[in-house]
Amino acid sequence: MKRKELKILGLSYSQTQIGSYVIVLTDKKSVRKIPLIIRANEAQKIALELEGIKSTRPLIYDVIKSLSDAYMIDVQEIFIYQLLEGIFYTKIITSNGLEDFEFDCPVGDAIAISTIFKCPIYTTGEILETAGVIINDDGTTPEEENDDIDDMDDIDDDEFLDFIDDKPKRVVSVSDLEKMMQQAIENEEYEIAAELRDRIQNLKEE
């Protein structure tokens, strides 16, 4: 089974599902991109890691990292191994230096963990063919026919294409960081909101 390595192209607030985010993964060696709907807390942790923000109040992902370090367990990779009825099934591959262990995990949580452990994300060629959208980074479509992803009804096609068309230089835009800050305030996560506020101010000054 040939595997494909993916990287995070962008993270954007979903206009179709309030409180959710669209994360776009791209194949490192082709123009295929996979859009996924993830929850706000998963998107928040991904954004914090990508922005280099260390929260003063540990989140559950930070607890997982601390436990893993304490027991000398390393996350080797994230593997999106199956797509069934629009749901991506994902495994976390870990190692203690002697044995490898696999754990099933929701895809959004798995991607968040990948940003903490700086480990690669893989999927199968079949999933990339089925769920991948052929879009160049400039928003144009190659002449070859795109594969349909009709079973991914939660993702608005125009929303995804607009995101690609914008060619963001940043993985997470300032406006999306502002949305996360507002959500953090609403959830009374004031420490995180303050850290996001400071990062936003720095970005605007730059």
pLDDT digits (tens, 9 = 90+) for 109-150: 999 999 999 999 999 999 999 998 886 555 555 554 444 444
What is the predicted pLDDT for the residue at 1? 63
* CA angle, 53 then 59 then 168, to 5°: 40
What is the predicted pLDDT for the residue at 147? 43
> Domain 3-205, what fold?
Bifunctional nuclease domain (3.10.690)
> Which residues of the chain are under the pLDDT cut of 70?
1, 135-169
What is the predicted pLDDT for the residue at 21? 95
What is the predicted pLDDT for the residue at 99? 94
What is the predicted pLDDT for the residue at 158? 53
Do the bridges between strand 74-84 and strand 121-124 make them parallel or antiparallel, or are there none, so unpaired? parallel
Domain ranges of the chain: 3-205
What is the predicted pLDDT for the residue at 57? 79
